[in-house]
Structure 1
Amino acid sequence: MDNATARKRLENTLAELDRSIGVLGGDPQAVWDRSGADAGSTLTDTDRNRAMLDVATRQRRSVLAALQRMDDGSYGLCTDCGRPVPAGRLEARPEAARCVQCQSKRERRR
């Protein structure tokens, strides 16, 4: 995948994430304005929305970092070892910052 195509995909993903974050962000006070009968499901919904918001926010940071790597010329190179990130990985995850081997090491450490 060429950089122009990757940039377009990243920009589209960023726009989608911004919309999702806007919807999920909502007004937290509205959660507490519901009746007591809804309190249990409200907390569950709030927790679920917060988790989805956290994931979307982390992914947004990854997309912005990938766009920055494009701007500075390091896109497609592993941020850990400097080797090229396989084209198939970038095709599947244009925001990928690491080669498969380095990403696997990072995940094992968690």
Structure 2
Amino acid sequence: MSDRAGAEGRLRARLAEVTDRVAAQRRAVDGIVESARDSNADDEHDPEGATLAWERQQAAALAAEAERERDQLLAALDRVAAGTYGVCEVCGRPIPAARLEARPAATRCVEHAR
């Protein structure tokens, strides 16, 4: 398997995981909204724990984070197709394999990471 095919396979596998995570978080948000719709509880003043609003915001934030990662992975797949995957966008040197293993959508080498 070529380096390009290996990178594409790893990115697609990670993309599938992240896409599943996006869907699960969106279902969680929808479930919280649905459960609140039929409730007349005053969860904003419930001394027993987190509010439904907080839970909804938490689930929405996790979904948004997963969506950002999904978008980064899609951009990385575009770079694979263009032949620029694994090349630092600042200096043009190869991004170390260990960095790409940890952050598959990385666009910069360690030296130029933000």
Q: TM-score under structure 1 normalisation?
A: 0.81
Aligned equivalent of 2:34, options 7, 30, 33:
30
Q: Which amino acid aligns with 1:13?
A: R
Please say if 1:75 is aligned against 2:75. Answer: no
* 1:87 corresponding residue in structure 2: 97
Counterpart residue type for residue 30 of structure 1: E
Quick check: which one's helix share is greater?
A: 1
C-alpha RMSD of the superposition: 2.1
Contact 1:17 1:60 in 2 (8 A): yes
Consecutive unaligned residues in structure 1, runs of 5 or more = none
87 and 42 in structure 1: CA distance in 2 versus 1, 3 angstrom threshold = same
Q: Aligned pair count?
A: 104
Aligned AA (2:24):
V
Per-residue CA deviations over 1:78-105 (Å, capped at 9, x if unaligned) read 12222211121112222111111111xx
Q: Percent identity?
A: 39
Contact 1:77 1:85 in 2 (8 A): yes
CA distance in 1, matches of 2:96, 2:42: 52
Gaps of 5+ in 2: 45-49
- Answer with 1 or 2: which has the greater Rg: 2
- Counting only pairs closer than 5 Å after superposition, residues 1-110 of structure 1 correspond to structure 2 as 2-26=3-27, 27=30, 29-30=33-34, 32-35=36-39, 36-38=41-43, 40-103=50-113, 106=114
